[in-house]
Amino acid sequence: MTINAETKIVGLIGHPISHSFSPFIHNTAFELTGLNYKYIAFDVLPENLKDALKGLVALGIKGVNVTIPHKEAVIESLDNVSPEARIIGAVNTIVNENGTLSGHNTDVYGFTESLKKYKNLISNTPVFIFGAGGSARAVIYSLITNFQPERIVIANRNISRAEGITRHFSQVLGYKDFEVKEFFLPEIAGDIKSSRLVVNTTPIGMYPNINELPVPVDDFFHDGQVVYDLVYNPPMTKFLKLARRKGAEVISGIEMLILQASKSFELWTGKEMPIAEIKKLLLKELKPRRKKGKNDT
């Protein structure tokens, strides 16, 4: 579609942004739906964040995704922040309504939607999470508010970071059934085995390090388990292949990536993204682009 005087602009602010898949996802969706929008990636340095937001208002940009390193810092400059983004402490989508900026966290929607068909399987059972970074916070929020886990075990290299998360969610959501473990196999093997849901929220296994694994053996995966890897490049990680071989159901980070994008799309345009078609096209696009790198959103 040609750009004309009616074209509406949305985009991404982050640093770096050069390997993001969001321009591909959203511009393809605009083409498929015939909406007169374009999605542009803006490389914004931390010291320019506030000016970038003022520019967004001044230019009438309809909204942006927010990625590393601005997801937390952006909150103080927004007029409204959704309750979940406030609790998680990170915004990944901003909507500009006539100069009023509202912040949302669509990662929660992406994770929740992609997991909901397993709700009965995982409710009131133990859950195991590798990692305690930004995406782990969205995952934990989703689990506590939608899936009622019996307990959440978090394994992280940096123990105090994981403890910080458990303190935070105990305070704000009143959920207390956490355990924090060292990222060290003998310590966590039993927990992985007894968990119905295992989630990798670390970048381990992401292109180009596709042979790396959060855990080096597959003895504790089995059927009746759901194993979720937030890494989406490659779409089927070595970790997921191992778990699948042992009979577990597996979910690729691609699902969350597309669903979080679809929510942003809906917030900006009021329309539904054609998810199935975008997924097909993204999987094709990911093959050649594996050579170059990645970004979250």
Q: Which residues are annotated as a binding site for shikimate?
A: 20-22, 67, 92, 107, 232, 260
CA distances from 268 to 56, 77, 94, 107, 262 (A): 14, 19, 9, 16, 10
Q: How far is the CB of 67 from ligand NAP (least distance, A)?
A: 9
Q: What is the end-to-end Cα distance of the chain in Å, rounded?
A: 23
> Interface residues with ligand NAP (CB under 6 A)?
107, 110, 131-136, 156-158, 161, 183, 201-204, 206, 230-232, 253, 256-257, 260, 296
Task: Tell the burial category of 178 from Cβ atoms under 10 Å away from its Cβ (0-12, 13-18, 19+).
Answer: buried
Kindly state the tokens that stand for 69. Answer: 């390193």
φ/ψ of 181, rounded to 5, equals -130, 155
Residue 162: count other Cβ atoms within 10 Å of its Cβ: 25
The answer to whether 71 is a known catalytic residue is yes
Pick the catalytic residue: 38, 62, 71, 181? 71
Residue closer to ligand NAP by CB (options 132, 197) is: 132
* Segment holding 255, helix H or strand E: helix 253-269
Q: Which residues are annotated as a binding site for NADP(+)?
A: 131-135, 230, 253
Residue closer to ligand NAP by CB (options 98, 211) is: 211
Residue closer to ligand NAP by CB (options 8, 86) is: 86
Strands 126-130 and 197-200: parallel
b/e per residue 105-129 (b: at least 16 CB within 10 A) = bbbbbbbbbbbeebeeebeebbbbb
Residue closer to ligand NAP by CB (options 61, 257) is: 257
Q: Which residues are annotated as a binding site?
A: 20-22, 67, 92, 107, 131-135, 230, 232, 253, 260
- Contact between 235 and 254 under an 8 Å Cβ cutoff? The reply is yes
Catalytic positions, written as ranges: 71
